[in-house]
């Protein structure tokens, strides 16, 4: 069953796909490390920050908001990598890479949900995501094209 955040509204395109945004957070332009966050379901599993696009947002703003809420980062978009579709879940995800400018000591989901964050090299990130969130591997690969 999908999670529903209080105060959030699911948005859909004309074809009935849920609109989402993913934030691939990097600390340098070489993009050889990415920041993942612990899952809210299993804190030993790692996921990419991301979530639904709110009705008042564009996908880029959603990626920045999700990176702040889930990972406690302030940053700026350094890459736009298109849309990755998950037909089985009827979701379309805009993928952005974000240059991290600031790592906050506490952030909304660290306090409320106990989320952790950790830097991974690309291979380790791919392996972690493949085990728990295989769709997010496609998002990561969109950045590497």
pLDDT at 9: 85
| Average pLDDT for 26-53 | 93
| Average pLDDT for 55-71 | 97
* Cα–Cα distance for residue pair 145/140, rounded to 1 Å: 9
Nearest CA among 31, 109, 122 for reference residue 67: 109
* Cα–Cα distance for residue pair 136/16, rounded to 1 Å: 21
| pLDDT for 76 beyond 90 | yes
* Cα–Cα distance for residue pair 9/51, rounded to 1 Å: 11
List pLDDT tens digits, range 111-144.
999 999 999 999 999 999 999 999 999 999 999 8
- 121 bridge partner residues: 33
* Cα–Cα distance for residue pair 10/84, rounded to 1 Å: 18
Query: Which domains, ranges and CATH numbers included, belong to the chain?
Result: 18-144 (3.90.79.10)
Contact 33, 25 (CB under 8 A): no
Contact 79, 34 (CB under 8 A): no
pLDDT at 5: 59
pTM score, two decimals? 0.92
Q: Which residues are catalytic?
A: 69
- 119 bridge partner residues: 35
| pLDDT for 105 beyond 70 | yes
Name the one residue in this structure whose structure tokens are 């295989």.
134
Residues in the chain: 145
């Amino acid at each position: 069953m999908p999670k529903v955040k209080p105060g959030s509204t699911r948005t859909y395109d004309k074809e009935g796909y849920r609109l989402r945004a993913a934030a691939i957070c990097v600390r340098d332009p070489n993009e050889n490390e990415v920041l993942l966050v612990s899952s809210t379901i299993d804190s030993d599993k790692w996921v990419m920050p991301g979530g639904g696009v709110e009705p008042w947002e564009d996908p880029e703003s959603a990626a920045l908001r999700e990176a702040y809420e889930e990972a406690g980062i302030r940053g700026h978009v350094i890459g736009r990598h298109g849309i990755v579709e998950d037909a089985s879940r009827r979701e379309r995800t805009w993928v952005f890479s974000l240059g991290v400018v600031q790592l906050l000591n506490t952030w909304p989901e660290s306090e409320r949900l106990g989320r952790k964050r950790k830097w991974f090299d690309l291979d380790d990130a791919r392996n972690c995501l493949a085990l728990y969130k295989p769709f997010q591997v496609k998002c990561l690969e969109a950045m590497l094209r």
